[in-house]
Structures are given as C-alpha cells and as structure tokens.
Structure 1
Amino acid sequence: MDGLDIIYSTVCNATFCDGGEENPYHDGIAPKKALENFVNGKHLRIGTFQNYPMSWSEKTENGSYIGRGVAFVIFEILQKKFNFTYDVVIPEGNLLHSEKTNEESLLGLLRNKKIDMAVAFVPILKNSDKMVTFSTVLDEGEWRMMLKRPKESAVGSGLLAPFDEYVWFLILVSVVLYGPCMTLLTGIRSKLMPDEERYVPLCPSVWFVYGAFIKQGTTLSPSANTTRVLFATWWLFIILLSAFYTANLTAFLTLSKFTLEVETVQDLYSKNYRWMAPEGSAVKYAVKNPEENIHFLYKSITDGRAKFLTLKYDQDYLEFVSDGAVLVQPKITLEHMMYMDYQKKTREGIPEAERCTYVLSPGVFMSMRRAFAYQHKSKLKPLFNSVIKKIIRSGIQEHISRRNLPDTKICPLDLQSKDRQLRVTDLLMTYYIMAVGMATAVAVFVGEISIRRYIFKRCCEKQKLRRNMRQVKPITIDESQPPPYESLFGKAKRGQTKKEMINGREYWVINKDNGETRLIPVRTPSALLYR
C-alpha cells in the first residue's frame, strides 16, 4: 500500500467511509443518495493548469494527461469514495483567466462547460463567481515577491543606523536651537541683573554647543548659577546621547539585521522596480480589477515596468530575477524554486556562501482564498464539499504541499554569518562628513575674502584701525583665570646671571626681579633640565 492509500484509509476510517454510523451519506436522506447514484460510475472531464506543487500534469505516451500535485491527491480521495473516472483537460494557454478566448484559460473552459470541474487551487477572485462557483475553501494563498539577494543591506551607512531618521532630525534641531537659546536666556538675565555676569554672545554659544557635541572643551568660564546650569544641561545631554549611540552602533555592527529595499507592495510601486508574474495568473486579474486592493499597481503596467510572461518551466523566471526584476508568485511555489536552485548549486560544487542567490520579501504581495471550481448549479458541489471539509481538517493538504521541502527555512533573509567585518558602506558617512567639512571650510574662506574685499571698503578699515590705535584700552584682569606663571616665580634680570663655585660645585646664580636668587647646577645631568 503506497502513501496515498495510507492517507486515504486514515481519513476514511475516521470520517466518512462506508459502514460508519456518522457517515452523512448513509442517514437515509434521499437527495444525497440520489447524488451518489448520479456520480457513481460517471466519467468526468477535469481541468487543471501548471502550478507546481499544488497542481500540474504529465503527458503519457498515448497523448492523455495525468494530474499531479496536492489538488489531485484530494481529488483521488473523492474518486475512491464516489467511484467515478475522469480525463484531464489542459487549457491551450495554461492560463487561469484570459480576456481573449475561453479555450486558453481554465475558467474559460469551465464557463463554456468544456469541463465539469477545475481541480486546482483556483484563487477566489472578486466578481469571478459570475463565471463559476467554488467549493469549500482549501487554503489561504499568499503571494510573495522574489528578489535577487543584494550584497549589502538596505539599512544604509553604519554610522547612521543606530538612530531613526526622526531621532537624527531632533538632534539636529537641538544643536541648531540650543546656542541661540543660551544667548537669549543669558541676555535676559544680564538685563535683569546688569551688575553681574554679562550675556554670552551668539557666536561663542554656537561654538560651545558644537564643540561639546563632538566632545571638545571651551574657553567660556561661566560664573553665574543660571549659565552653569545651561552648560551642565547640554553636557549631560551629550553624555547620554553618546552613550546610547555607542551602544547601538556596537549592536548594529555585530548583530545587524539584513533588510531589503523592496519589502511591501508599496515599496515595489514607489521605488519603480521592474516586476513580473505569469501570464493569465491571479496577479494580473487582481491588478486590473478596480475592486482589488493592489489596483494601484496598474500604472506600472502602463509604464512598462510590469510584465506578464508565459514560460514553460518555473525555473526559467530565475534568469529575469538575476537581472534585477521582482517575481510575484505564490509563496509555496517560490520556496520550491529556491530549494531546487539551492540543490542544483550544491551538486555543481558552488561554495555554501554563494548558494542562496535569491530571497523572499517579508511582506505579503496579496492574499486570496483558493478552492476547486465547478460550473454554475453543478451537482458535484454539494456532494464533494462535505468530504473536502474533512480532508482539509485532517491536514493532508498542508502536509503534502511541503513534503519535498526541508523543515528549516530555505535561504532566509538573514543568513546569520558569523564574521562581521566593516565594509566601505559602513564607513561611507565618514567620507561624506570629511568632504562636506572641507567644502564648508573653503566656502567660508571664500566668503570671508569676498566680504572683506568687496563689501567693506579699505578706507573704512584704515579709519577704524587708526581710531582703535588712538584709544587706550584699560588693562582688565580676569580674576576667574589663573595668574601667569611668571608672576609666581618672577622674571630674571638681564645681566644678573653668573657662574659660581659653591661647596665644590659649579652653579648658575640667577637674580630675579622680585629679589629671589636661584641656584642651577651646571655640570650635573639634572642641569640639562634647566637649559
């Protein structure tokens, strides 16, 4: 007995097989019994399309098709239950929906009654119930975006990564406004108390804020308590900001998470990326339908940034993804494509770090319920629905769809590489800062030269210089500064230095202005310290 028979017998014994007391088809209800008799021994025409691993077909030697995939596993359980035969019909264009002819799409064959039932995971599109009717929902399909794995994370420069853009903006506002605020507050204080400390001018205040921001000292020496509190507040702000920045930068460089430029549908639209999907798929129908949430992507079709291709094999799409395009497919299909590509590169001996060429976006492109499809007023729907419900509840569908995939996540977004070396992009902002600083210095220099030569006249500068020379400025002593070094020890008088022998040693005898006499040894090694 193969695996399919084991699954069938397990579900059958637990739910709906003949002989069970809870079987809904053996409770004496005449309409259900009549439906069983209607389908018993009947030959059905079944349509499907290529959508690995959910449904696909294989052509035999006599030209007929054999259905494969998760959809036909469920359908074969129905076949054994209700005893019917079937033929598989493939649409000419292998499309889900077509606007041209009905023969090239699965829903078109069903609408023209060329087939009795569509055995595939058909998305339940809006307004599609006007063409066909659907069975019990099989699952909730997710469409994701596949991209070529970038070499660098989309976070940007490592120096800017620790803080969000909003935080950087607030820091910039604080640096710009705190200097004028200090001038304003100290100016108000000097007006209210003119006999005490003068106000701090704007230029020194700005330079103090900037110097403290890069952890440099200042020549300002505040004496008033108000000014000291202002200085201490800014220093405390810088200390805490530096601590947070250093800690977050260390964490980013060691445990940074890899991010993509395109993570959601809005990123795909706003960043003008090229994207593609299979021709006649649910994606094309949803984008063109004004009632769908992703209808705003229709502009990308008119702009030529979106293409819908018809390729024989799913692996053929990888060539376009390698060129920078974004592929939109169901998540389970993309996972099988990535796993097959990974296995191919493993057999070719490609190094482990280079096997995960593609990556899936974390955001969902769109979500839709999927089910089998019937003709309108089909007798098969009420007969099959209750059985399909029990099959889905048993978990067969989810198990079979992932049985060829590993238990671990295939090529995750973050490969968890152990080594983390600084790259050029991490230090790119340092080069920008250096270039901007040099350009700013040159601009300031040119501005100063221009102002002095062309705005202020030379004669005015000479007059100001003569006027300043005539005025005798009184010498003021700043008691807050330490006294000069010479005032402590005095200054040596000219011509008052001579050699003398004292206690058998030769000394320099220096007479100071303050009357002090100092002796400095001449022929000892310590004399070199005084020369």
Structure 2
Amino acid sequence: MVLIILINVSLDVQEKLKVSKFNNLPNYVNGTHLKIGTYNNRPLSWVDVSENGTLTGNGVAFILVDILQKKFNFTYEVVVPERNFEMGGVNPVDSLISLVNNSMVDFAAAFLPKIGMYVDKVKFSYDLDEGVWMMMLKRPKESAAGSGLLAPFNNAVWYLILVAVLSYGPCITLLTKLRSKLIPDKERPIRVYPSFWFVYGAFIKQGTNLSPEANTTRVLFTTWWLFIILLSAFYTANLTAFLTLSKFTLDIEYPLDLYKKNYRWIASEGSAVEFVVTNPSEDINYLSRMIATGRAQFKSFSNDYDYLPLVQSGVVLVKEQTAIDDLMYSDYLMKAREGVEETDRCTYVVAPNAFMRKVRGFAYPKNSSLPLLFDSVFNFILQAGIIDYLERRDLPTTKICPLDLQSKDRQLRNSDLMMTYMIMIVGLSAAVAIFIGEVIVKRYIPVKVTKIKKSKHKKTKFDDNPKIYYDDSRPPPYESIFGKNGKFKVTENSKRRIINGREYLIAKASNGDTRLIPVRTPSAFLYYRDQ
C-alpha cells in the first residue's frame, strides 16, 4: 500500500514538473535567437542569398515559422546543409537530418517525411501534411493503348484472330474429308488450297466460287461468315471510338511498371526516395535492383530545372507532387511567354498513380522541448486548412497539363496509318517473292507433266459450240450466248433504221424473226458482226 502511494506521488510530481516546464517554455523561447535549418525543396522551402551573404528562408515552411515567431517572439537565422541532402553524406553538415541530430540547429523548418531511418535520429512535430511522390515523364506522342489500325484490339486478340485465320481452312478440309469417308455421296472433300482462299477471301469480305451442297459444309461456311461479320462490326465500332473518343493512357502508371518495363528513372540524392527504395522493409524495395544495373540514379541539383533535360531524353523523374506541379507550371508559363503554340506547351505529364505516400512534419533534436510548444499551434493551423491553401496558392485551380488534353480536333497522323503502309509494303514484297519463285520453278526446274484424263463435261443449254469448256461453278462464257454462231446474224448488208433519233441494225434470225441492234452506243459492243 505504501509502495502504491509512493508511485502515485512520483507520478504527480512528474506531471507537475511537465506542466511547469510547459508553462515556462514561452518564457524560455521569448527573446531567444534560434538556428533554423532548411533545404531547397520548392515550393515548400528554399533559401535566397542576399548580397551580404545573409540567408533568407522562403516557402510554406517559413510562413509557418513567421507565425511561430509572432506568437513566441524569437529571432532566427537560417542554416542550410552543404549538399542539400535530407539525410546521408560523409560529414554531419551534408544533410538536414544530420544537422538536427547533432544539435547544430534548434529545429528544421522543412516538410520531412516520417520514415524509419529519420525517426531514429530526430523527433518529429505534429503531422503537417501527407507527402505524395509522383512520376513525371515526357509526354508520349501516342497512347499506350495503341495507335492506328491496331488500336481497337489488344495483342492477345490479334494473335487469336491470326490463329483462327490460319487454322480454320485446314479444319474445313479435315471435316469434309472425314465426312466423305463416313457419308459417301457426290460431294468431294475441299482441298487445303481452296479452303485457305475461302477463309482469306471471307476475311476481307470477298465472295467464293465454292458451292457446298452438304449441310455440314454449309454450316462450316456460315460459321466463318458470322464470325467475320461480328468481328468486323466490333472492329469498326472500336476504331471509330478510338479515333474520336479514346482516352490517352501512359505506359507507366505504377512503380512496378518502372521495373517490369525497365524504364530509366531518377530521384534526388539523399532524399526519402533513396532511403525508402534501399530499405528492405519497404514495399518498393524491388526497385533497388535497378540501381545496380544503372537504370535508377540519384542526383542532387540546386535547381529543379536541371532535371528537365533528363526527362526530355526519356528518364522518369520521381519527386514530390508539389515540386512537380510547380516545375510543370513554371515550364508552361515560360513557353507561353516565348510564344510556343498551345498544343506544344505541355511537354511533360504525370503518371496517374502515386510512387509513394508519407506523412511529413518539422524535425527537432531528440532532447528538444520545442515540439511541446509548437505542436499546439500547428494543430490549429492544420485544422484551419491553412497548410493546404499555402501549398497550392501559387498554382492554378485546374490541373496542370492533364493526361488527356481534351483536344477537340482529332486529325489522323502518319502513326495512325502506319499499319496501312506496312500492309502495302508486305503485300508488294510477298508478290515480288512469289513472282521470283514462279520464274525459278517454271524456267529452271523441270517438271514432268502427266496427262490427266478429262472428266465428262456436263451438257447444258449453252453447249451449242462443243469446243467451249467452262467451269460449272462460274457463269457461262459470253461466246456461248452471243458468238459467231449466235442466234441473230448481223452482216454488212443488214439494213439500218433510225427510230426516235437513234440508229439501229435490223438483224434476222434463222426462223425469220427480226431484232433491232443499237449502233454507235456502248451497248453495241455486246454484239459481234460477221466479217
């Protein structure tokens, strides 16, 4: 019982000491001179150097510092790390975290992410915001969904269509051969060659001279025609939608895409991105493998504009969203002042999904008492929405250079018609190759010609001339209807008559009938005159 009483007394004493210390903090800070560390990370924090070498802090972080200064009445000087790192470096003065950890500054006025490696070295303030790191890349000329004639279907669909075209012809041959063996009748099996040309002809919506009589073969033909009709309908509708209403998509949407598609990317040296990627306990640690291959690099520049030439060359930049928005907006305004056309001002684009998210705050030394004093002020500022306002106040309310520029005019480019050119080139090349093959086979390779016994010709009503042969599946030849031995005889002595202003020849038939044949009109060429 006595022990419990002593513990309660001890706790009361500690609580009173904390309250006393907290009440005395304003007096402790009042009139003091603080050293405040920061680093260049526009628009959240940056430093301007005056002519006499004085450092002046700017950005959202120092607006908060000014609020604290007015409330607690202190003065301060700005200290920056030598290498503009968040963490790392050989010397303690190289990074901002090292300055705070070694008590070289009283606190860091910068939006630093709360990651494990930072938390172990410094004490963080109340959460000021959630930092979002995005991926910025050069705007591609065409959508990742495809372009031109191949856009309506993805690669898997095209491969399946190719398999269907190549395999359906042999399937027709196989099934017709199987049917002819099981059900012997007059219909013969269809060979591979005509089957292939039927499939190809139907694919490009052409007719065929094959006339199947068996129900099985007719169902096979009808099935392929229905497949082509539906495929053409889907393709035409999707192509129209793509050329008019398609949504622009990027090849990079998630951090995993950087690794899968082996994209080069870059981030600030000594930043949170470097330590998160190299930390085995983080979800995106798989990207550390790209560092060894040189596909991922960490570089530090004093000005963010120095990253733009790298992005222009195809490198993906990983940086805070506020910094990327400020960089893209400044680049847009610069091009507008230079007179660049509206359609060419949005050179860069941001991936739709975040690279990572981390809460951020100010940093203090481990033994500092300032968080007890400043966090209550930060809490009121955050609840009032002042920080969110300050981060976006110099940026437009609309999204800067969005993924879809919503251009009203959609003119076809060469990239849209590239497949058309490729089809023409491949077709001409194939024709030339086949021509060369035919010349070689027919001129230089002797082929034995075996006489084939002619099948009995089916006689029709057009068989007046026994020397004329034709295929039953095609229309009868013209000579079998109107030839030199036709029904009507036209000679040089045939009489001419003008009827209704048009000249006609009077032709007589063997049975005494007469017929008027037009002269000097296109229809006159349908008739042959005996010499």
- TM-score in terms of structure 2 length: 0.81
What amino acid is aligned across from residue 329 of structure 2 in structure 1? Y
SS at match of 2:130: strand
CA deviations 1:367-397 (Å, max 9, x no partner) are: 2222222222433334443443343232111
How much has 1:403 moved relative to structure 2? 0.5
Contact 1:39 1:84 in 2 (8 A): no
Contact 2:152 2:242 in 1 (8 A): yes
What amino acid is aligned across from residue 514 of structure 2 in structure 1? L
1:338 aligns with 2:333: no
CA deviations 1:147-167 (Å, max 9, x no partner) are: 333444444431101111122
Greater alpha carbon shift after TM alignment, 397-406 vs 483-492: 483-492
Change over 3 Å in CA distance of 1:520–1:284 after alignment to 2: same
Rounded to whole Å, the distance in 2 between the matches of 1:493 and 1:200 is: 37
Identity of aligned residues (%): 52
Look up the match of 1:37. Answer: 24
**Equivalence map 1:423-434=2 (5 Å):** 423-434=413-424
How much has 1:196 moved relative to structure 2? 4.6
Look up the match of 2:64. Answer: 74
Look up the match of 2:287. Answer: 297
Change over 3 Å in CA distance of 1:495–1:141 after alignment to 2: closer
Rounded to whole Å, the distance in 2 between the matches of 1:293 and 1:524 is: 89
CA deviations 1:124-167 (Å, max 9, x no partner) are: 22333221232332222122222333444444431101111122
What amino acid is aligned across from residue 315 of structure 2 in structure 1? A
Contact 1:158 1:426 in 2 (8 A): yes
What amino acid is aligned across from residue 519 of structure 1 in structure 2? T
How much has 1:486 moved relative to structure 2? 6.3
Rounded to whole Å, the distance in 2 between the matches of 1:59 and 1:157 is: 50
Look up the match of 1:92. Answer: 82
Rounded to whole Å, the distance in 2 between the matches of 1:286 and 1:488 is: 88
Contact 1:300 1:306 in 2 (8 A): yes
Paired residue for 1:519, among 502, 514, 517? 514
Rounded to whole Å, the distance in 1 between the matches of 2:443 and 2:102 is: 89
Structure 1 vs Structure 2 CA RMSD: 3.4
How much has 1:93 moved relative to structure 2? 1.8
1:218 aligns with 2:211: no
1:52 aligns with 2:42: yes
Rounded to whole Å, the distance in 2 between the matches of 1:322 and 1:38 is: 51
Look up the match of 1:18. Answer: none
Greater alpha carbon shift after TM alignment, 360-369 vs 490-499: 490-499
Rounded to whole Å, the distance in 2 between the matches of 1:51 and 1:523 is: 92
Contact 1:287 1:295 in 2 (8 A): yes
Rounded to whole Å, the distance in 1 between the matches of 2:130 and 2:399 is: 20
Rounded to whole Å, the distance in 2 between the matches of 1:263 and 1:451 is: 55
Look up the match of 2:120. Answer: 130
CA deviations 1:108-136 (Å, max 9, x no partner) are: 11111212322211012233322123233
Paired residue for 2:395, among 396, 400, 405? 405
Structure 1: which 5+ runs fail to align?
Answer: 1-27
Look up the match of 2:243. Answer: 253
Contact 1:501 1:507 in 2 (8 A): yes
Paired residue for 2:129, among 139, 145, 170? 139
CA deviations 1:146-202 (Å, max 9, x no partner) are: 233344444443110111112212212221222222222222322222125322222
Rounded to whole Å, the distance in 2 between the matches of 1:524 and 1:305 is: 82
Look up the match of 2:409. Answer: 419
Look up the match of 1:13. Answer: none
SS at match of 2:396: coil
Change over 3 Å in CA distance of 1:281–1:523 after alignment to 2: closer
Greater alpha carbon shift after TM alignment, 518-527 vs 210-219: 518-527
What amino acid is aligned across from residue 455 of structure 2 in structure 1? K
Paired residue for 1:109, among 99, 120, 124? 99
SS at match of 1:332: helix
SS at match of 1:181: helix
SS at match of 1:277: strand
Change over 3 Å in CA distance of 1:447–1:502 after alignment to 2: closer
Rounded to whole Å, the distance in 1 between the matches of 2:360 and 2:267 is: 18
Rounded to whole Å, the distance in 1 between the matches of 2:256 and 2:192 is: 46
Change over 3 Å in CA distance of 1:132–1:504 after alignment to 2: closer
What amino acid is aligned across from residue 365 of structure 1 in structure 2? F
**Equivalence map 1:242-391=2 (5 Å):** 242-391=232-381
Look up the match of 1:160. Answer: 150
SS at match of 1:291: coil
Rounded to whole Å, the distance in 1 between the matches of 2:225 and 2:162 is: 16
What amino acid is aligned across from residue 492 of structure 1 in structure 2? N
How much has 1:500 moved relative to structure 2? 6.0
Contact 2:100 2:108 in 1 (8 A): yes
Greater alpha carbon shift after TM alignment, 384-393 vs 233-242: 384-393
Aligned length: 493
Contact 2:505 2:519 in 1 (8 A): no
How much has 1:256 moved relative to structure 2? 3.3
Contact 1:126 1:291 in 2 (8 A): no
CA deviations 1:226-267 (Å, max 9, x no partner) are: 222221221111112111211211222223333444444344
How much has 1:82 moved relative to structure 2? 4.7
Change over 3 Å in CA distance of 1:445–1:86 after alignment to 2: same
Contact 2:497 2:506 in 1 (8 A): no
Change over 3 Å in CA distance of 1:196–1:377 after alignment to 2: farther
What amino acid is aligned across from residue 57 of structure 1 in structure 2? V
Rounded to whole Å, the distance in 2 between the matches of 1:507 and 1:492 is: 18
How much has 1:487 moved relative to structure 2? 6.1
CA deviations 1:44-94 (Å, max 9, x no partner) are: 332211111112233456654343222233344444445544433222222
Look up the match of 2:456. Answer: 474
How much has 1:426 moved relative to structure 2? 0.9
How much has 1:284 moved relative to structure 2? 2.3
How much has 1:273 moved relative to structure 2? 4.1
Rounded to whole Å, the distance in 2 between the matches of 1:126 and 1:347 is: 44
Contact 1:262 1:268 in 2 (8 A): yes
Contact 1:359 1:411 in 2 (8 A): yes
Contact 2:110 2:361 in 1 (8 A): yes
SS at match of 1:46: strand
Change over 3 Å in CA distance of 1:495–1:68 after alignment to 2: closer
Rounded to whole Å, the distance in 2 between the matches of 1:180 and 1:402 is: 65
CA deviations 1:27-47 (Å, max 9, x no partner) are: x97624522313434233322
How much has 1:220 moved relative to structure 2? 0.6
1:206 aligns with 2:188: no
SS at match of 1:276: strand
Contact 2:496 2:506 in 1 (8 A): no
CA deviations 1:210-229 (Å, max 9, x no partner) are: 11111111111122222222
